[in-house]
Structure 1
């Protein structure tokens, strides 16, 4: 049965999509790859080609072409899965194009360019909140163009007018300086007064090295079986291991192992209270781009020290981004103060209304968008920092997702009362107005203004 949303992209349309874009040596993701037309075109410029494809029958086609299949359903992808991607080039299902493009924007790493086809009505007709959100993103971060009925002579035809969207995810100024990381394995010096005990770090590194050695042994065993088995007529064996995605080569395995090892270290050290969503993205991207940098004790100590030294700047930038995102296009989230200068920013209201925060699978399973989760979690970390509340002891929003996820019911965290509605809206109310005031005062200080005396 033909997928009603599968319209393979013609080469002439791909040429229009990539006009003015340099993809030489780019890391390209096609979130709805189909038969791989877009990646087929791009492989003349780069070998770093990644994809998602939800149809089982098409996944072997993409693997045969040696494209790296990250997963099946792109709407379940998270920022950490694509933190190394430089370009998202997509021809999403026309029936859900807005949802796919918004999700790409939500999880795209900083500096990523998104090039997407869509039904022109998704851009031109703003009847839904989701389409209005896309309109605002295009106005702020990109362009749109009506290509016309460019699929009239395609492999699968349609007279639908097609739109072309190009978006660029801006790069924030706070970045980790990885220049101090060592490219060579060296003798480790014991650090008795370090921020993490020497023996604990040594144990983690030894475990990492031991796992990679076992991977080598497994590959050698498979090679031995295949080389000797073919002499007695045995078919060649292959394997695909997976805990979140499939991989068969050591490089991909090592990257995933490094990411999980860093996460373990951050949890063990209780560093998560400083790790904003942007910082996590940068660590993941570092592992993807600099995999040759060894996972050594010295590099672990350098990373932990950099995160600790830059914690205040990271939290400040996270707060500004979260508040700006919540108030930029949503007037009801802004607290109005006489004489307020809108060009300086907006304080958060006592209740925050987040549109398109909740999405659903077939009307039964609900989940928060990655961007919403990141912004809320960043605000919680800032609140913990300025109130002195221990982040590791807080009742977080994810517990609600697992146990209390009910439409129309209020759920109580340490800082918020939370409720969601089936149309996709999430409401957050500050439980303690002192926390609301402290957060706005901190935001105002970062922005460079003082709140009026009658602010309450």
Structure 2
């Protein structure tokens, strides 16, 4: 256990939160969030009173970060002492490690733009200011706030980790006096008014570092600083304009006092900062060429996860961490892409399946596995009505076939842009295809029937279809990880799955209930399927007893071989 980690008791958190004079929180920072004990108090006391409270968290411990994410809290940084986030916080609430409490509070004070700060520190930090930093903090408290000493705060019944230490609850208020700032700037502008343009020092062009990542961070920081200047300039303009009074036809007012100017700058800069950060992280992702390689479904999954990445501060360290995570997840992403295409072909179109009895047999019914047909499968168009008047491939179908080509290129060890794909084929030979001709891309022969709204697809590379089936089978524990495992009968019924399926009477089988029905419906349909499969095996003379399959094989024991990106 971390000797510096003392979860904040609820009673102490409430006491600290109640120090805030202004309860209208626009954006709050918790610099050392731990497991979210203090943030939970904010969520409980502040949410629902006014508009939604935006809370940002920093937390250095990765285990605690996982807990915070489960609680749906936004993590913007790891080590708070190196955090330089540009958001303008109206409130900061913190219970930092006692050993470095002074450093945390001083850093938070520097980050605070205009608002309040409440911190829980060891009382000895304030009572015994023997260092320069402690004396500086005491001076700030005397000028901008107050302190309350609380004994036995970590001995209350709701304390997870008890200690008799006395604490100090510090409350600070920071104001940005726009009126004084504007007057100072006005004087400065008047002094510089007579300067010639040649006398103004123009910032030197950015020196492009060797690292592209460092260059991105520098550009981001410059953009944020420009946004900060623009927000202040807009507020100043509105302030001066309102000093002149309203126009006869203008009933609106903007920035008529210092407080409204603060709100204006805070709102404008926070919005600009978040947009810049999203663009910056997007540029990192685009630079890796990852998006270009992903299927449409994989892109959607990454985009849903990308929102949490955009919460992080845009720093070199965080970028490297993000890229490392992409590298570590690459194998998983590829497996998911392969499964997506497999399901597009088979899951929603049962007539494209060939059934076999799966290796994992801990369920009541063993026919829970299937393969994609090796010779031909039929895919309905996503928009049948579109082809009654159009002479091009519909957008949804373009996406589908692009995903097909990306996955088959991956299975073939090729870059997805190298092969001649299905979308290229439709661009070049739409007239021939819509007339029923069979035309070829690198991986498929295609026949298209616009009136019926169906694509008949004939795989040209049976080895790639076999690899697709085996990768999905192993991933879903339908097949053993090694081809050496399993009886001769098991592999015979797998290899002859198409022949066996043709001998099965599936006319009474309800495929929808088998896959999407209630537990009872699934069980009844699975019983029919198993009966038909075993009868077909008997007719073909395939000697396979389902008990030969390994039982109770757990998902977390699977070892999936990863594909190498080209």
TM-score using structure 2 length = 0.37
TM-score using structure 1 length = 0.45
Larger CA Rg, structure 1 vs 2: 2
